[in-house]
Structure 1
Amino acid sequence: MICKKGAGMLERQDAWLRHGGEPSMAEVHRSIPVPAVAGRFRRFLAFLGPGYLVAVGYMDPGNWATSIAGGARYGYTLLVVALVSNLMAVLLQALSARLAIATGRDLAQACRDAYPRWTTLPLWILAEVAVIATDLAEVIGTAIGLNLLFGLPLEVGVAVTAVDVFLILWLQNKGFRWVEAVIIALLIVISVCFAVQIVLADPDWQAVLQGFLPERQIIEDPGMLYLALGILGATVMPHNLYLHSGLVQTRAYGGSLADRREALRLATWDSSLALTFALAINASILILAASTFNQAGETAVDEIDKAYLLLQPLLGSAIAPVLFGIALLCSGLNSTVTATLAGQIVMEGFIRIRLKPWLRRLLTRILAIGPALFIILYMGSSGAGRLLILSQVVLSFQLPFAVVPLVWLTASRAKMGELVAPRWVTVLAAATAIVIIGLNINLIGSILFG
């Protein structure tokens, strides 16, 4: 029997659903069963998946550009930024899951319910900008991967990326577990590719460990701060906060307070383990760039295709660049799936517009293809590389507009009930938001005033 507090929570969720219409991602809402009578490990396996879809955003092509540039230019120094960014991500994604499980709403829906329209409309526009910036990085990354592996011209590769809508539709028609299985399989391919490359690079592991210690120079050097913000924007991605709060609701967990507490615990384990895996991949990219390019004096490597061409002569192995290209292509393909889902959640949640998946996908992709084609045609691959890094800095500037509402909503007992975030979690999350805002202000000041 559901306790009185649990019943009150369910009544509050039902009222929200009646007020806001369909639940998040209605076509797959609670489509994955969670066995009621099973061991703890089997129940955890039922929750395994959303964290890895979220983790895709933490190792997409935008991460590659910023991590390669950071490692080549500054060696292992920015590893601490990747670590701190990942810790921030673990905290914020756990809050995103908490919001979904406590309220039955994703972050976009919760913002629409809590704020007046004059506030939610700008928040929606900013969230769409974040989705487009994410998709832009994936367009360029996938196009570069196709170019490196198959010699396809960049502009042709950009156009080809629009076809991935059919892959997404095919996966969704087979069931959401298929989407998660393909994502995880591609993540395994990426990890194997980087493991082999790290072995070939043979980095200085003492210097690697030292790179995880903070240095004041990161804040004081505008160039280093710019890349640090790029790494932050590529790691703690605003669209992932919306995405996770929708994906968690694909699980058909029970309605009692005890069931929801267990769902929160298992969902948090899922995302934390997945993000730890993402940190290993991100650190591997930076370590590879530092041990290969920085050590050889190639400090100006800030383009993925240039990194690809230099790997063979510097590592002395023909397989290294091939593995690099395969991992990049897998990363781009993975990210296209999650960007589509995030775009769907943002549009449906903020303005209640439901588009057919293929139409939503093409719309997002066209908005990303436009600037990518323009830059590639007029500036070539070097411009594409710079656009990749810029897209990640743009994401960093978007972060406060997703993080601040998330922290405020999850700290409200009126909205969260018994699953309200503990005070210490709220304090840590608020401090994270302040750090992100402070770094952005610092960067703007550096750009404006030299």
Structure 2
Amino acid sequence: MRDDTPSLPEVHRSVAVPNAAGFLRKLFAFMGPGYLVAVGYMDPGNWATALAGGSAFGYTLLAVALTSSLMAILLQALCTRVGIATGRDLAQLCRERFPKPVAYPLWLFAEAAICATDLAELIGTAIALQLLFGIPLIFGVLLTAFDAFLILWLQNKGVRWLEALVFGFIVLIFGCFAVQIAYSDPVWGEVLRGYIPSASIVTNQQQLYIAMGILGATVMPHNLYLHTAVVQSRAVGEDVAAKKEAIRFASLDSTIALSLALLINSAILITAAATFHASGNTEVAEIQEAYQLMSPLLGGTLAATLFAIALLLCGLNATVTATLSGQVVMEGFLRFRLPPVMRRLVTRLIAIIPAVIVTWIQGESGTAQLLILSQVVLSMQLPFAVIPLMMFASDKARLGALVAPRWQVVLGWTIAAVIVVLNMKVLFDALLGD
């Protein structure tokens, strides 16, 4: 049964698109949703996996970061196509086209992914508050519940304000890491070789586990739901030509934004490899430990301070993604709408419980394992979002002239198969106790 209530109704078709304008002006009109999505590709969960991978294996896992980003660029482009072509988000399509015994488990998997993301965000934000202001970790975890009010205020200002703030934070984060790379002085020949895939990524179980964490931290399930909804904030024409143009510009927007996210993710891993792995510190997984080691290893406090500032900005930025994704998933699957601040508080309170338990029992020592585990959980949820997306993007009977090109369909289904196979490998290793 179709429900014609739009996704994110408070911002639906709220951004005007000029009919007769040059390329750059048109692109500017469509710029924004890609950066809201890109935020999820540089959240604190990415930090944990990149730090662990860089310190343990040097530049080897740069190939995973690159491959994951290329996967994400294609999948998010398919999201823009599905959202613009159908006028529906992924959650609504799943509810309308799948029987309830299929749709409801998909909803639960999506909610689990959002909670796993939120867990990483609140731990990362709490760690940043501790590093910058000395706030005890457990109190920082509790304080993160109040970021809901920031999101509510921003949403009331309009989606363009939200997009502008997110873009500004991303530029600042990029600037922080540019300085850190300059301080760490990596061997650029080794960096470039790191982007070439190595067989050890699959054969070495520890590398594979962290690689799956990087994959889960990069190609995030809830971002697929969010992107199909947020692209509908642009007031595009209803004819096929207008929708084709909108798909082209929206895909370009997300590709540029995700390319910037790849640079930031690579910078985290490169910094970890050049600073920690090169100095023999091969087991740096805790963000706090990385912060403490940076000053003596890099000969100053500036790099460490910028590291903590960038972490705080990433945590705040990712809060936007989790809040909007939560709204899209709940409204799309259940047709049940909560006020954004209430939705945010419910999601965050669910994530706070395991974070408080771990920090209470294990203190700082358990946060890295929890962060990496949350990203592996995200990877395990990926097939339940990617497979429905591919079904809808390749449905010529419903999309008609707007159906995805054959090459995108083939690559998309290949990505889905690779994700499923790698997930089965990790589960198999876990069952064997490795």
With normalisation by structure 1, the TM-score equals: 0.95
Matching residue of 1:47: 30
Out of 215, 225, 237, the residue aligned to residue 254 of structure 1 is: 237
1:273 to 2:256 alignment: yes
- Candidates 213, 227, 230, aligned match of 1:244: 227
CA apart distance, 1:98? 0.4
Q: What is the 5 A alignment of 1:25-424?
A: 25-424=8-407
Amino acid at match of 2:268: I
TM-superposition CA deviations, 1:398-419 (whole Å, max 9, x none): 0000000000111111221210
- 3-state SS, counterpart of residue 391 of structure 2: helix
Deviations along 1:322-369, whole A, 9 cap, x unmatched?
000000000000000110000000000001000111110100010011
Distance in 2 between residues matched to 1:432 and 1:175, nearest whole Å: 35
Deviation at 1:114, TM superposition (A): 1.1
Q: CA deviation at 1:446?
A: 1.4
Three-state SS of the structure 2 residue aligned to 1:295 is helix
Corresponding letter in the other structure for 1:193 = C
1:300 Cα offset (Å): 0.8
Q: d(CA) in 1 for partners of 2:262 and 2:20?
A: 34
For residues 149 and 388 of structure 2, what CA distance do their matches in structure 1 show? 34
**For 1:153-174, what per-residue CA distance to the aligned partner results, in whole angstroms no more than 9, with x for missing partners?**
0111011101111111111111
Q: Check conservation: 1:102, 1:417, Cα contact below 8 A.
A: no
Aligned equivalents of 2:146, 2:169: Cα separation in 1: 18
User: For 1:229 and 1:245, how far apart are their aligned partners in 2?
Assistant: 24
Output the CA distance in 1 between the equivalents of 2:201 and 2:340. Answer: 42
Q: Distance in 2 between matches of 1:415 and 1:358?
A: 36
Aligned-partner Cα distance in 1 for 2:196–2:23: 37
RMSD: 0.8
- AA aligned to 2:405 is P
Alignment partner, residue 419 of structure 2: 436
Question: CA–CA distance in 2 between the matches of 1:159 and 1:186?
Answer: 23
**Post-superposition shift, 1:372?**
0.5
Aligned equivalents of 1:65 and 1:34: distance in 2?
A: 39
Task: Give the letter for the 1:40 counterpart.
Answer: F
Q: Give, in whole Å, the separation in 2 of the partners of 1:323 and 1:383.
A: 24
- Counting matched residue pairs gives 433
Displacement over 3 Å in runs of 4+ = none
| Residue 125 of structure 1: how far off its partner (Å) | 0.3
Alpha-carbon separation, structure 2, partners of 1:297 and 1:184: 36
1:224-244 Cα offsets, whole Å, 9 max, x none, are 000000000000000000010
Task: Give me the whole-angstrom Cα distance separating, in 2, the residues matched to 1:146 and 1:369.
Answer: 16
Please list every run of 5 or more consecutive structure 2 residues that lacks an aligned counterpart in the other structure.
Answer: none
Per-residue deviation, residues 22-55 of structure 1 (Å, max 9, x unmatched):
1111111000110112222111100000001100
Give SS of 1:26's match: coil
Alignment deviations for residues 225-267 of structure 1 (CA, whole Å, 9 cap, x no partner): 0000000000000000001001100000111111100000000
The 3-state SS of whatever aligns with 1:323 is: helix
The Cα shift of 1:21 comes to: 3.1
Q: TM-score with structure 2 length normalisation? A: 0.99
Q: How far does residue 68 in structure 1 lie from its aligned partner after superposition?
A: 0.2
Deviation at 1:175? Answer: 1.0
CA contact (8 A) 1:86 1:279 kept: yes
Greater displacement, 426-435 / 38-47 = 38-47
- AA paired with 2:360? L
Letter of the structure 2 residue corresponding to residue 254 of structure 1 = G
Matches of 1:132 and 1:70, distance apart in 2: 24
Q: For 1:353, what is the secondary structure of its paired residue?
A: coil
What SS does structure 1 have at the residue aligned with 2:242? helix
Aligned pair 1:447/2:433, yes or no?
no
SS of the residue corresponding to residue 41 of structure 2 reads coil
Q: Secondary structure at the match of 2:281?
A: coil
- Matched residues in 2 for 1:373 and 1:153: separation? 12
Cα distance in 2 for residues equivalent to 1:111 and 1:419: 19
- Report Cα offsets for 1:39-75 as digits up to 9, x if no partner: 2211110000000110000000000000000000000
